[in-house]
Structure 1
């Protein structure tokens, strides 16, 4: 009898691990382990999402006459015990490529093998596993455009069928603990529903309409043209093959070349997600260390008051503050604004990207280590294929370009709801009396962007050794 260990694949359909477990032709025992070592790195919003997704997964199994075992304890301890209790000879799971996950899986593998239980890790979370798309020399690509060309042309596997009732055992599952029972407070934000049904509806809706607007409007935060699938890919409430298959079908339905190019633009973002997984798999230290080394240490200012203003959405730069408040409200930020707030923290405020990453990790419902580390190091000019250090986003210009009517800003910064778009985007140029008249409760800019831009460039040049 096989045991299937769910982790970041909280679904029964299009699950390569479950497909492999079903091949043993014996009833599968499904299990999820609430591992305290993993939960140490969790946050209230993510645990709330996890519990919701587990309840939905259990319902799917019960619809098939089975159940999901949810147990608490170190995975390396409880999985051998479960194997012994249920007469399990093989434990199957889907690979995870982060450093913490790999450490856990090595410990689990050793414990199971000591108990005489076979282990079968399966590739599932991305289309092409790390090490399968490589340059002529080296283990991974550090430039996305080269990775993209190979990823784009590499065959993508079709979605796989879910298990039938005959494939599954009927274990007696205990109630799933609540977030509070696991020691977590109520989250600050209200994230979207995280279930396979919600994922399917989101994917179908996106591929019916917005995918054809994606290329032109994905950078406009008020347009609603993005997929919002990141949270479902993070928790595995939808499979990557299902997503790609739906986008391919959308390309076939496209009415013209512009629509097809828009679908390709979205698929390119799926490739970015995998690119960062490949980078992290070969460089697990980049969670805490710069990917691109500098001759000298970057002289981060790390001003605590400025960091606090950034976290609170009180910097006096409206597009930045809107993004940070969206994060607190929804546990999610529009991708263009994610780049803007990260660039503002690391360049205008010259605060270490790791402090921003830690804040995102706590508040993002869709936090994914590979994508978030990759994105933060890109913005900080320390990562692979990163934004050059001398290109510093001007937040006011970015607001004018991507939120010209200030629709997004007004939604998340109510102090400015009666201000004109010109005043919002020109907030840094207004004199104090005008600011006080327009929005007395909204702060003045905490820094001068022009001055801080020059200071950031000089700081990075010193770190590079350019002034030696």
Structure 2
């Protein structure tokens, strides 16, 4: 027997670790997932809800193939070796993860298995090109994305790997060893406020097919407009591994082959660039696990962050008086997801207009996002805060009013998520910060006035960042 320990690879197709476990061996695969309390301490209701849905779908896939999925609760360093011993396994396989917490867990599991004389077989699966495979001539990784992108773009991509055959799987159904999945309540979580989209392998494949069948061709032109629905919405599937990265890239190759115009090919290329961005941040985190809590850039200096609980509370509630910022924060609350352009805007607003530490924003997102990914979220927050790799220059401060007017010109996105403004005209919404109190009271009496003056806070932010650099 060989135990394959699933973590963030909740699929049977295009799973390198699982495929390796089933290749060239007469051993049967025992699929395992561990609900580890140490890991769950860092989780949230919306993510655990998605996890349970993905696990249910994975178990169904195994059962359709004549196997099953073991789901056990406890510290991974205890559970994984115990399951290996229970099934007299010669080896345990898993796909690598890159966060500091995951690596600490994996080191503990590895040590116990090796003490028991059980082999450990790990591979890289979460991204197309593993950390350390795309490097500059000096140093361990790129810190400027454009250089990374050129090499990533031109490097040959591996093909998706096949799922294990039915004969590769241990017959766990006869042993009656699987139990129903625990509920959120049994795991100590409340029902989530947000209602994210379905997170299963079938939903992921359908989404890839739908996106690469049409919207991908307009991605370059429309992806920054949050009301357009032009993004892939694959982030939650990447988070839980209900789709493999090689399978997604292969779908873009087929889309590129079908493209009939340069504009359509530009759309495919623009989407691939976002895939590369995801991998860029994973590479950086793999070599710099400390960036979860520390500024990546030494040049950022010691920034004198403000501590204003009232302004932070207004930001989290979507009540800043800046309509597109508030729409984004309310979308996060309702869906456990936020459009990427708006993620940048709300992060810039917190770190520049409010001058509140990016770590507080990152932690809020970590607890609210269904697609929370340590590498992506840390990278995005440090980019917006001008403290990270290849970050937004500190003196280029997003103007939320101009951003709203440019990327939500008809205020369709704002009115979708801010019902107090649903009857307001686009001009009134975009002019909200300059309207008089009397005009605001007439247009939308229940929507707040701006909590800060952007122009004043922009000057304060630049002064603060320059002082930190000095």
TM category (shorter chain) comes to: over 0.9
Q: Hey, which bits of structure 1, 4+ residues long, moved more than 6 A?
A: none
Partner residue in 2 for 1:143: 144
Partner residue in 2 for 1:179: 184
Check conservation: 2:300, 2:386, Cα contact below 8 A.
no
- The answer on 1:374 being equivalent to 2:375 is no
Residue from 183, 200, 214 that aligns with 2:219? 214
Residue from 225, 229, 244 that aligns with 2:230? 225
| 1:10-21 alignment runs, 5 A limit | 10-21=10-21
- The answer on 1:198 being equivalent to 2:203 is yes
Could you say what secondary structure the match of 2:108 adopts?
helix
Task: Please list the CA deviations of residues 186-210 of structure 1 after superposition, one character each: whole Å capped at 9, or x if unmatched.
Answer: 1010000000000011100000110
When structure 1 is superposed on structure 2, of 303-312 and 24-33 the one drifting more is: 24-33
Could you say what secondary structure the match of 1:119 adopts?
strand
Task: Please list the CA deviations of residues 382-419 of structure 1 after superposition, one character each: whole Å capped at 9, or x if unmatched.
Answer: 00000000000000000000000000000000100111
Could you say what secondary structure the match of 2:423 adopts?
coil
Could you say what secondary structure the match of 1:215 adopts?
helix
Structure 2 CA distance for partners of 1:342 and 1:295, relative to 1, 3 Å: closer
Displacement of 1:25 after TM fit? 2.5
Runs of at least 5 residues in structure 2 that lack an aligned partner in the other structure: none
Query: Residues of 1 paired with 2:300 and 2:134: CA distance?
Result: 30
| 1:250-289 alignment runs, 5 A limit | 250-289=255-294
Residue from 311, 322, 326 that aligns with 1:321? 326
Displacement of 1:257 after TM fit? 1.1
Query: Residues of 2 paired with 1:421 and 1:79: CA distance?
Result: 56
Query: Residues of 1 paired with 2:396 and 2:51: CA distance?
Result: 38
Partner residue in 2 for 1:351: 356
Partner residue in 1 for 2:343: 338
Could you say what secondary structure the match of 1:347 adopts?
helix
Partner residue in 1 for 2:107: 106
Query: Residues of 1 paired with 2:110 and 2:200: CA distance?
Result: 29
Partner residue in 2 for 1:119: 120
Structure 2 CA distance for partners of 1:74 and 1:325, relative to 1, 3 Å: same
- The answer on 1:308 being equivalent to 2:313 is yes
Could you say what secondary structure the match of 2:120 adopts?
strand
When structure 1 is superposed on structure 2, of 165-174 and 371-380 the one drifting more is: 165-174
Partner residue in 2 for 1:49: 50
Check conservation: 2:2, 2:93, Cα contact below 8 A.
yes
Partner residue in 2 for 1:95: 96
Displacement of 1:302 after TM fit? 2.1
Query: Residues of 2 paired with 1:147 and 1:117: CA distance?
Result: 38
Could you say what secondary structure the match of 1:213 adopts?
helix
Task: Please list the CA deviations of residues 351-398 of structure 1 after superposition, one character each: whole Å capped at 9, or x if unmatched.
Answer: 000000000000000000000000000000000000000000000000
Runs of at least 5 residues in structure 1 that lack an aligned partner in the other structure: none
Task: Count matched residues.
Answer: 465
Partner residue in 1 for 2:368: 363
Query: Residues of 2 paired with 1:390 and 1:269: CA distance?
Result: 25
Partner residue in 1 for 2:424: 419
Could you say what secondary structure the match of 2:92 adopts?
strand
Could you say what secondary structure the match of 2:31 adopts?
strand
Check conservation: 2:8, 2:240, Cα contact below 8 A.
yes
Displacement of 1:294 after TM fit? 4.1
Query: Residues of 2 paired with 1:314 and 1:49: CA distance?
Result: 28
Query: Residues of 1 paired with 2:272 and 2:459: CA distance?
Result: 36
Query: Residues of 1 paired with 2:252 and 2:191: CA distance?
Result: 36
Task: Please list the CA deviations of residues 111-133 of structure 1 after superposition, one character each: whole Å capped at 9, or x if unmatched.
Answer: 00001100001111101111110
Query: Residues of 2 paired with 1:129 and 1:302: CA distance?
Result: 39
Structure 2 CA distance for partners of 1:256 and 1:62, relative to 1, 3 Å: same
Task: Please list the CA deviations of residues 74-131 of structure 1 after superposition, one character each: whole Å capped at 9, or x if unmatched.
Answer: 1111111111110101000000011111111111000000011000011111011111
Task: Please list the CA deviations of residues 38-93 of structure 1 after superposition, one character each: whole Å capped at 9, or x if unmatched.
Answer: 00100000000000000000000000011100000111111111111101010000
Query: Residues of 2 paired with 1:133 and 1:26: CA distance?
Result: 34
When structure 1 is superposed on structure 2, of 198-207 and 168-177 the one drifting more is: 168-177
State the superposition RMSD in angstroms.
0.7
Residue from 236, 244, 249 that aligns with 1:239? 244
When normalised by structure 2's length, the TM-score is: 0.98
Task: Please list the CA deviations of residues 21-42 of structure 1 after superposition, one character each: whole Å capped at 9, or x if unmatched.
Answer: 0022211000000011100100
Query: Residues of 2 paired with 1:403 and 1:231: CA distance?
Result: 24
Could you say what secondary structure the match of 1:5 adopts?
strand
Query: Residues of 2 paired with 1:278 and 1:337: CA distance?
Result: 24
Displacement of 1:296 after TM fit? 4.3
Displacement of 1:295 after TM fit? 7.0
Check conservation: 2:353, 2:461, Cα contact below 8 A.
yes
